[in-house]
Structures are given as C-alpha cells and as structure tokens.
C-alpha cells in the first residue's frame, strides 16, 4: 500500500486528489496538508467527505512529510515546492508537483513568465514533465514529476501528433481555450464570485498567460525546434472542463486521413485519450469527472487550416487525475487504477 | 455475475444506471433497452460512454429480456411496467421498477393521481417499496421492487424517524422541495430549455404533484395512521440534486436531543445516510454524484416547529443509485458495491 | 431636477440605483459614494457604465453629502446610517436608507437580531417603513425612509392582504424563500465563489435570519397583534430574483374567491403588483430587471392551507427600484418614473 | 407614431423587439405575429409582459400586415421573408428582416450555405445590409433592410476597421466566437435542454456555420477584395451574449497606436460602440441587455498577431436592438431612441 501525502489538500485540485485517493485500492492517504486550514477537520472544509474521512488537516512541512510518505503531491502555489526541494527529500520520497515549478526546463523562461526567482534550479534537469501518454517511460523512474497544467495538458495532447509528424506549420498555431471556473482556485476574490462569473464569458491573460511557454516548450520537443504560438484563455460559467480550440496551417497536401493516422499512431492504444469520429467534436460534459481527453478535428479545405479540438476535466486529467496516473506509473500499478471513473452526465 | 438489463436506458435515470453498472464488480449489463433509440449506438447518444461500451440500443420488449436477464431495471414512463407485468416474467427474473407503477398500495390513489388505469393491480401487494434503509428485509426476497421517486426518497428519509417516533404532529407536515432539472427528464419540451430554466426559480405542481400520495402513504406506515401533507416542488437551475425543507409541529416538550436520538435510532448504522451536526444543514453539492442522503434539523423554539432538511442526488439516491442498492440487497451483494462514489465537488 | 447621492454605490444594490438614476428623467446623480473604491473611476469598477458616466467615486461622508443632495440613498452596512444620523442632516436632505437601521420600530428587537447597538434610536419613530404600496401616504412626507429588505418586501407583499383581512391564522405562517446570489453582496467570500454556489441549493440562517423580525413586525401591523413566524431563506444558483413560497392555515370556510378579493382590494390598482390568474404561479424570470411583484396562490382543500407565492427582483423591487419608487413618491414625481422597465427575459 | 408589426414575435428575438417597442416613445406595436401561437394571449406566452400588453397573437400574413404597418420586423425562419416578398409589400411598408434572406448579395452563396432556393432574388440588390454604424446613409432610404446576424454583427464590427485600413492580412483571419444559448432559439430540441447545455462548452458548425459567408462578404467590402476566413462558434451556458475573439496577422510594422487610430476613425463618434482602453477586454456581462458593442485588442509582438475581441448582447445589438436602431434611422428618429438601456449587471 503506497503511503501518499497531499500538501495543499484544501484547494480544489488538492481536494480532487483526496477524493481519488480515498477510493484508490493501492494507496493510503496519510497526510492532509494545508497551510490555511491546519488543525481543522477535513470534512468540515469539504462536507462531501463527511463520513469518508475523519482526518484533520496537518501543515505543509514538506521535509517532515517526506519521512513518512512514499509519495507527496504538492498542490501548492508557485514557488513553494522549489523553495523547499532538496536532495534529502528526493532520497526519501517521490514528489508529484502540481505547481509550475519544475515544468519548464529553461529557468530564465520560468522566472520571466512567473516573475519569481527559482530557488532550486538544480533539480529542474531531472524533473520529468508528467504528461503521461507522452513521457511514460521517464515517469516510471522519476523522483520528481512536474504535473502539467490544465490548459497545457489539453492543448499539448491536442496538437502533439500534428507537430511531431510535421503536419502543420508550427509557426501558425493559435489556441483559443475555454475553462470552467474551478481552474481559478478557491481563494476569495471578487472576480470569481458567482455573480461576476455567471452569465458571462471573457478572455483573460491575453498574450500573457503563464501556460503559454509550457505549451511552446513541449510542442518544441515534438517538432524539434522552437515554437512560438498564440494562446488565449477564456473563463466560462461552469465548474469544470477545458475546451481547447486550436487552429494551425496544415502543410499543403496533407489529408484528413493522414491527420487521423498521426493521431492513431500516438494515441491509438491510449485508454485515456478518445479520438472522435469525423464530424464529431469534443464537449466538456462528456469528460466531466473523468480522466479522459477527447480529441476531434476538421480539415478546412476552404482555408487550409486544421481545427483540432480537445476537451478534458481540468481538475482530473488537468490536475488530480493525471497526478494519480503519474503515481500509478511511478509505482508500477495499473495505469488506470483509481482513476477509471465514467464521466458524469448530466 | 448478475446479468442486468435496463429498459429506458436512454433517459437520464437509465443512463445513470448504465454508468453505475459499467463499473459494478458484480453485475454485467446485457441489454440497453430504448424505445426511442433502438438500433443506435449507445455511446453516440451519451458520448461520455465513448470507449466504455460498444453496445447498441435494443428495444423495450420486457418479456424477451426476462429470458436473458437476472434483473431488469425499468426506467420507463408511468404505466409501461404495469401494462406488461405478468407471472411468467416474475418467475424468470426480478424487476426493479423506477416508475410509480408499483409504489402505491392503494390502486385507487394511484389511478387518481396518475390519471391512468393500472393494468396489473394483482402484483401491487407483493411489490416492495424499495426505500432500502427502511425496507431492507423485504427487499431481499422481493421479485418486484418499486424504486421510490426522487422527491419521495428525500422527503421520507428526512421525516420518517420523526413520524415513527411520534415526535411531530403528522397533520402539520409541509415539504418545500427543490430539484435540479435532470428530474424533468430528457424529452424535448420548451419549458425545459436552457434559457427557460436558467436564471429562474419556480414552484410547479402546487398542491397536485404526484409524489404527494407516495410520501403520505409511507409516512402513514411510519406513524400508524393516515397522513395528509402539503408538498410543493420547485425547479432549480442546476443539473442534479434535491433539497427537501420540511416543517412540522413538534410535539410539545420534545427536545432537540430526543430528535437526534430518533434519527440515530433509525440511521445511526446506515452508511448512506449522514446526520449532520447541530447547526449544519444539507446542501446538494455535498451529495452530488453519490448515493448519500444528508439530513440536518433545527428545533425552532420561537415557533415550536422542527425544520428538518434532507439532500440527495436525484439521479443517484433518488433513482439509479438506490436501484442498484436494491439490486445489491436482492442478490446478497455488499450493499455499497458499485455505488460508493465520493460526492463530486465542485 | 432632484440632486441625488448614493453612498455605498459600489455594492450591487448601490450600482442598481446608479443604473436607474442614470436614466431617470427627474433626477441627477451627483455623488457616487464608496468607502472601498474612493477615488476610482466608477466605470472601471462597473464596466457596464462605460461611456455612461465619467464619475469618480467620492467617499462616504454623509454630512458633507447632505449639503449638496436633495436625497441620499444609503446602501451601506448595518449600523452605518444610524451612526451618522442627526437632525442637521435630516433638515438639509432626505434619506432613503437601504440598510436595516430604521426598519424595526422596537430598538431592542433590532439590537438583538443584528447584534449591534443602535446609535440614533431617536429617529426610529419618525422613520417610515418604505414598502410603497402599503405606506404611500406616509412616505410622501417622510424625511427618513427605511427601505425594506429584499426577502421582506416579497414576503410581506405576498401575505399582507391575507393577514390584514383576517383570512389566515397568523400563528401558522411559514415562509420558505429562495434568493439569487446577488443578495449576498459583492464582498469576496469563499462561500459566494462561483464554484461554491453553482450547482447547489442550500438553506441558510435557518431560524435566525435577520429579515424575520422585519416581516413579523409588518404583518403584525396588518393583523393588529404580534406575529411569530418561520422564515427559511435558501441560496439559488442564479444572479437575481426572490421567490417566497408561503404557507398559512386558512381560516375555515374562507374561499379562493374571498382570497382573490382581498388581494384585489389591496393591490387591484397597483401598477407594480401583478396578481396572477388561478393556476398560475410566479417565477423569478418574469420579473427580472423590473420593479414588479408577481403574486399567485392556491387554496389547498386537502390540507386547509393556502400556498401564496410571490416573486420579485431582489435588486430592483427588493432594493434599488423600490428606493427610487420611494424617491418618486417623496418628491411628487409619477411613481413609475425611471423604474418602468419591462422584465428582461431570457 | 410609427405603426410597427412583428412577425415571429414569439421567438426570443421577436420577443425582444416587442419588449423594446413597448417602451419606444416613437412607435406603436400593432401586430404580434406568430405562426405557432396564433390566437393566444401574448402575455401568457411571455409572462414578463403581464400587465404590459393585452394583445393576442395574430398570424404571419405578411401581405395583410403590410396594409396596416409602417414597418414590419420579420423575425422568421430562413426563406419565409424571401418567399413572400413582392413589390406591392415594399410599396406599402418597410421591412426589417432579421433572417438571412437578404443579407448576402451573391444568391448562389446564399443558396449553397442555406441549402434553400431563394424565392425573390430580384430584391436582393436593393436590400441594405443593416449594420447601422457602417451603412447608416443607405439604411435611411431603404425599403428593405437585412438585419445582420448576431455572430456577424460582433465579428464584423470587431474587424472592420482593421480590414478597411489595410492593417491586417485578411487571408489570415480566424474568429473564435462564443454565444449564449438564446441564440439557439426557443424551439424544443433535446440539444438545447438545460441539462445538455449547462456545465458544458462545445464548438459546433465547425467550418460550416452559415454566418461565415456573411462575415466574409462584409469584410470583403471593407478591404476591397474577396476574403476567406475561419469561423468557429461555441455554445456557452449562459442566456445572452456573444464574444468574438479574433486573430489576424498584423501587417508588419503596424503599431498598436495605428490600430487604435483606425478604430477611432470608424467608431470614435459612435454611441453604441465602446472602445476599451489598452489592457482591457470585453466581457459579455458588461453589455447584457444593451445595444452596445464593446471592443478591445492587443498586439502580440511575440507572434505578430493582433487579437481583437468584441462583445455584444446577441438579442439586442445582435438582433432586436439593431433592428430598432435600423427603424430609428429609417424613420428619422434619434438613433438611440428606445434602445438606450444601461447594461444590466449582475
């Protein structure tokens, strides 16, 4: 039985990890870490957990947890994980970090987009970017996994085969992404009040969103050269879900069949990625509450573009579900264990 | 492995049974019955099921299914199940009927409130009203279970101990209930369009809703005499959930501690019923996607009333979850098997 | 042209007053008071006002405003208005207070339910409870109007004729009220975040909500003796609207026709109150964005209860609209001036 | 007083015209046309109109209405208006057609995208495309105005100055649009049920939406040559609002200041178009219930793209509001008369 800890267990992503681990047959949750709610009963913070756990929140002392846990999920603000990371911790336990601290290989890029100094850049090289379907082998042996962001998981999975197989002009990529509001977290901000979000749609972080370099870096690996792209996130009045509508110039002559073959090559065997038939496109409701990524596309012969669309649940495949998937891979468990929920509709 | 069939599998409740059975370790779904979608691929009707089932919809021939299935769930319109029921079917298989056909013992009451003739009243006496926590022993041996309605499950569970222990004046009961919109079903009606339901709350069926006599009958059993009560349902702009706010005159002198003792007596050992601590009240979000019933109450000394509030997910404990719970009981499986989901929030 | 000021103009109710006054033909808004946003441009706080006002927020100095304005709307926290009120202010200007400070005649009741000391109880006697349809004559000459609360406006208007005409047992009144989330205000609280409110319904303030004594006092005036009643508010995932579902024991023998006659007697000539035909019940969507109150009822012969239901827009008739209606009455303008919006649907 | 008629008055757009005309000081509504609800009381179909009109629905006989009305709004299905149009009608009255029948100058394009034969192509040349801010002079004298579509109004207004001033490569335009659900109309379709739309976002009509050629044609006029672009609409779980996020390759060397100057040139004097300051972007909530179009943009120096975003209320500026604006222009009334509502928030 894997002993698992969650630091940052009282945020939405942290709570989702708790939810998954409570039903995971191979793991036991031994630490409900929380800076804000230390000492409080977990099921009073999240009353859905009533009767399911009697745990009280512990603090966020990473080093102390490292002595007890086989794996630690850090669902913490940017900079936290990097500020505490050291060799001792990584010797004792394995880390799955849901923050951005170890996602970006170029520390200068990280520091520029996040506006903070990286306190432990020496661990960046060994950190594995935990997009499970694309980095499974490296994840198996990793001590430190950088769990991908929600927008990035959806965007990269949607575009990776196109970039890797050279089917698109990677200089032309535009990602217009839409997210449910749980992606904004549980902290009390006026902008996230019900009446501010409900009956509204808006773009935000136009040209400046921090997930941009993460997507660029991974797609750069796919195609073998630097990628600069346009990424615009939008806030949608719903709890969960990300839809990434992507636009790329198709290399002249590439057919829809070739595009499908590329997707099949990368994802044909992947349980958690569902390629939709022609003429069908992802909707967030069909993946809600699950670890699935749905992908559909259309080659637009009028314009020469390919419109490829992906959908995930931002809290599952975009955070907690993929984190547990990473744990499963790291510990040699069946990859779907504990994260095989049927999407909940309606 | 139990061979299970669902007739009416393409309604919201039917789909929820499918969802649960696909992950049930002790049952296998062998028949996706649907009158409207016969011959269509199930995962094209509910794309959340993509990759999880390749089944096509069969029809709704109850007799034919009875030859193949150990249990049949009928999530069908009022009258359907009664019109086809016969001894032969009940000899071959067991029926869990999610319609109202066999819920009400007094056929005249049924015919009055539902406005249709009951076609097989001879089976009403043996039918067991499948409110699991209150009728477990009878359910075990039942051939025909009448799965309770959504409003009724929530209302009865909330009031039963008060009525059974004689703590309230059962002539004073008022139930003000609120439901998410999935309770209205998936048929295309103008009144259920997004723009008609969103940003609105309304009462409906004021004084005439069909769940009224079902609640009255069951609470009548609890207290040993006829009960007449006021029930007002409301439609809430959310997908799932029922909240029943009930008001009853407390018998003079009854204390909050006695009320709690009554709830503990009936539900103290019940996994799926969570009694909330004083000062805490149910919210539908804390039970969403789960089979739990949350109950809280307050004795109002100013008015002598007890306000008791219950919450369920109408599609789970109010329909599919309880249906599977009934199946588990009928077939001697652990009662929580396949329906032990952690409530999903947010 | 009436010179009007709003203190607390950056809350939701304050903003609604601003919205109404910007199009009011007889009033001019000269002061956008705000404690939190002083010095900021109003249209940057509420971007719907872009191009409609260039005003910057002033502070909340009541005495200073009194020198300039003919009428001051105070949409401020409990206690603010009472703490600053004095004879000088009331000599110079007229006050329409949207807080509870001057609503309750019995200062002990106020202090008990609100938990704060009333700093100027000497003005309570002259304050007029500004439920326009019921106190029009007194409002005309008032210096200080206590603008009713949102739940209370809806509840009192729904029940007043029944209580005043002696048609119900006023000891039996139960009000089960449901409100949109704008009633919770614009301050940043976790409980009001989108993901906490969306897909949820809950009761709150069970047995303790502060609007209770206000309703009791006014209905007491209606029937001529003290009233104690049960009031349970609920939070609904929508922006605007209040639905009050009320239950009262009808005096034996009273008919539906007599009930309708009572409503007609009080409201038959009232523009802003719409009595619905038999069998029709209010829905919040039909009053959204307007100053209307819709009322419908049903006499339930099975139980001897009358279920009377009212609906308003909490920010309009429940706050800003009624405040402007009070202003119109106080200054001799046509009562509907500037508040005659057609309800917006969908 | 203009005598106005609405055919198709029981759809959402038609109802919005009714709502506006009921408060329009210069027009009188004399005909509530409806095919589906002929003979029914209008305020029973739209209960927000209770007390505001006693009208009953008349039918949809265009020729008969033409004898009585100075202007007829046709908010009818595609093909209806074209099928009945004749010289006699246009001699007697003026038509503002909210369908697509007369929007597209090239009848072959219309027939291809709409899949129906155009029954009166002889009137296409004289029809004026009623995007008020861009065609005011022609609208004044038009007998037949083709009121623009909702997506198209928002998209064209957002891109027109960029195309007209040669600031962008019009071969690179991508429009990712998001719409509230009222755009889908009031007919009862499963896909538009509350539970199907709520908690979901999806793209639809990918590469095939009928508003595409309308946008292309108008932007083609702006830049003086044919335009082919990519347009992807999305359905958002909200009632009203369209957000169009557009991406275009900026002509090398063009600065943000030049872009702003272009917008100022076209819209600087326009009341209903609000250019947002740098760093600010439109949100649908800020225009809800109003006839405003909000536009913001960002030049992305990393990619050389300009992201220009527009927001409207699809039922107002995207349908009824613009239709009344057209009427005002056609009849020489002040352009803002009756459509100067302050956006409603929250």
Alpha helices in A105-184 (DSSP H): 107-114, 132-140, 150-164
| Strand locations in B75-220 (E) | 94-97, 128-129, 144-146, 168-179, 202-203
Q: List chains touching A (3+ CB pairs under 8 A).
A: B, C, D
Instruction: Determine how many CB atoms are found less than 10 A away from the CB of residue B221.
Output: 17
- B172-226 pLDDT tens trace: 999 999 999 999 999 999 999 999 999 999 999 999 999 999 999 999 999 999 9
What pLDDT sits at residue A343? 98
How many angstroms separate the CA atoms of A14 and A12, rounded? Answer: 5
pLDDT of A293-321, one tens digit each? 999 999 999 999 999 999 999 999 999 99
* Angle value at C-alpha B224, between B221 and B228, nearest 5 degrees: 75
Quote the CA–CA distance of C4 and B5 in Å, as a whole number: 69
Distances (CA, A) of A109 to A101, A113, A232, A332: 11, 6, 19, 33
Query: What is the CB neighbour count within 10 angstroms for residue B138?
Result: 15
**Cα of D145 to nearest chain A Cα, Å:** 29
Distance CA A190, CA A208 (A): 21
With a threshold of 0.90, tell me whether the complex ipTM lies above it: yes
Strand residues in C180-259 grouped as ranges (E)? 202-203, 230-235, 242-250
Query: Which residue's entry shows tokens 């019009």?
Result: D170
Run means of pLDDT, 10 residues per run, chain D, 346 residues:
98 98 98 97 98 96 96 97 97 98 97 96 98 98 98 98 98 98 96 98 97 97 98 98 98 98 98 97 98 98 97 98 98 98 98
Helices marked H in chain C — which ranges? 12-22, 42-45, 62-68, 80-84, 87-92, 107-114, 132-141, 150-164, 194-197, 211-223, 256-267, 321-330
pLDDT tens, N- to C-terminus, chain C (346 residues):
999 999 999 999 999 999 999 999 999 999 999 999 999 999 999 999 999 999 999 999 999 999 999 999 999 999 999 999 999 999 999 999 999 999 999 999 999 999 999 999 999 999 999 999 999 999 999 999 999 999 999 999 999 999 999 999 999 999 999 999 999 999 999 999 999 999 999 999 999 999 999 999 999 999 999 999 999 999 999 999 999 999 999 999 999 999 999 999 999 999 999 999 999 999 999 999 999 999 999 999 999 999 999 999 999 999 999 999 999 999 999 999 999 999 999 9
Residues from A contacting B (CB-CB < 8 Å) are 12, 15, 19, 22-23, 46-52, 182, 199, 239-240, 271, 274, 276, 280, 283, 285-290, 292, 294, 340-346
Among the partner-chain residues A174, A176, A284, the one whose CB lies closest to the CB of D200 is: A284
Q: Order the strands of the D293-300 sheet from edge to edge.
A: D202-203, D230-235, D168-179, D242-250, D305-312, D293-300, D273-275
Global pTM exceeds 0.80: yes
Contacts of C285 in chain B (CB under 8 A): 196, 199-200, 202
Residues of B in contact with D198 (CB under 8 A): 181, 194, 198, 237-239
The yes-or-no answer on residue D150 being catalytic is yes
Query: pLDDT tens digits for A27-72?
Result: 999 999 999 999 999 999 999 999 999 999 999 999 999 999 999 9
Percentage of chain B exceeding pLDDT 70? 100
Q: Are strands D305-312 and C27-33 parallel, antiparallel or unpaired?
A: unpaired
pLDDT tens per residue, range A258-288: 999 999 999 999 999 999 999 999 999 999 9
Closest approach of chain A CAs to the CA of D237, in angstroms? Answer: 7
Q: How confident is the model at residue B335 (pLDDT cuts 50, 70, 90)?
A: very high
Which residue segments constitute the domains of chain C, with CATH numbers given? 2-126 (3.40.50.720), 151-314 (3.30.360.10)
Nearest CA in chain A to D248: A174
Query: In chain D, which residues touch C (CB < 8 A)?
Result: 12, 15, 19, 22-23, 46-52, 182, 199, 239-240, 271, 274, 276, 280, 283, 285-290, 292, 294, 340-346
Residue in C228, C234, C302 nearest the CB of B302? C228
For chain D, the residue count is 346
Please tell me whether residue D202 adopts helix, strand or coil conformation: strand
Residues of D with CB under 8 A from a CB of A: 174, 176, 178, 180, 195-196, 198-204, 206-207, 228-230, 232, 234, 236-241, 243, 245, 247, 281-285, 288, 298, 300, 302-303, 305, 307, 309, 346
Segment B234-260 mean pLDDT:
98
CA distance D260 to D268: 10
Q: Any idea which residues of A carry the catalytic annotation?
A: 150
Considering only the C-alpha atoms of chain C, give the largest distance between any 2 of them, rounded to a whole number of Å: 62
- Among chain C, residues having any CB pair with chain A shorter than 8 Å are 12, 181-182, 186-190, 192-199, 237-239
**CA dist list (Å): B221 to B123, B159, B179:** 20, 12, 25
């Amino acid at each position: 039985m894997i002993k698992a800890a969650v630091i940052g267990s009282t945020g939405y992503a942290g709570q989702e990890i708790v939810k998954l681990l409570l039903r995971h047959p191979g793991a036991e949750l031994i630490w409900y870490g929380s800076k804000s709610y230390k000492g409080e009963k977990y099921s009073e913070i999240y009353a859905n957990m009533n009767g399911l756990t009697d745990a009280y929140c512990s603090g966020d002392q990473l080093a102390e947890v490292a002595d007890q846990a086989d794996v630690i999920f850090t669902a913490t603000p940017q900079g936290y994980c990097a500020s505490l990371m050291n060799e001792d911790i990584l010797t004792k336990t394995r880390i799955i970090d849901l923050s951005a601290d170890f996602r970006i290989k170029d520390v200068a890029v990280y520091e520029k987009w996040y506006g903070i100094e990286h306190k432990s850049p020496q661990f960046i090289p060994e950190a594995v970017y935990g997009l499970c379907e694309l980095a499974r082998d490296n994840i198996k042996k990793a001590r430190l996994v950088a769990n991908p962001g929600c927008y990035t998981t959806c965007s990269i999975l949607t575009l990776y085969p196109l970039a890797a197989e050279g089917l698109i002009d990677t200089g032309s990529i535009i990602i217009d992404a839409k997210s449910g509001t749980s992606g904004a977290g549980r902290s009390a901000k006026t902008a996230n009040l019900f009446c501010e979000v409900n009956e509204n749609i808006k773009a935000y972080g136009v040209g400046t969103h921090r997930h941009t370099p993460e997507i660029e870096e991974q797609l750069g690996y796919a195609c073998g050269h630097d990628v600069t792209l346009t990424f615009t996130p939008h806030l949608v009045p719903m709890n969960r879900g990300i839809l990434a509508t992507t636009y790329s110039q198709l290399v002249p002559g590439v057919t829809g069949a070739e595009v499908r073959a590329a997707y099949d090559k990368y994802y044909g065997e992947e349980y958690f990625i569902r390629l939709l038939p022609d003429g069908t496109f992802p909707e967030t409701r069909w993946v809600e509450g699950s670890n699935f990524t749905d992908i559909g596309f259309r080659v637009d012969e009028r314009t020469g573009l390919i419109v490829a669309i992906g959908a995930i649940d931002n809290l599952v495949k975009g955070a907690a579900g993929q984190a547990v998937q990473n744990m499963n891979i790291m510990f040699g468990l069946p990859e779907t264990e504990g994260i095989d929920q049927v999407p909940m509709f309606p």
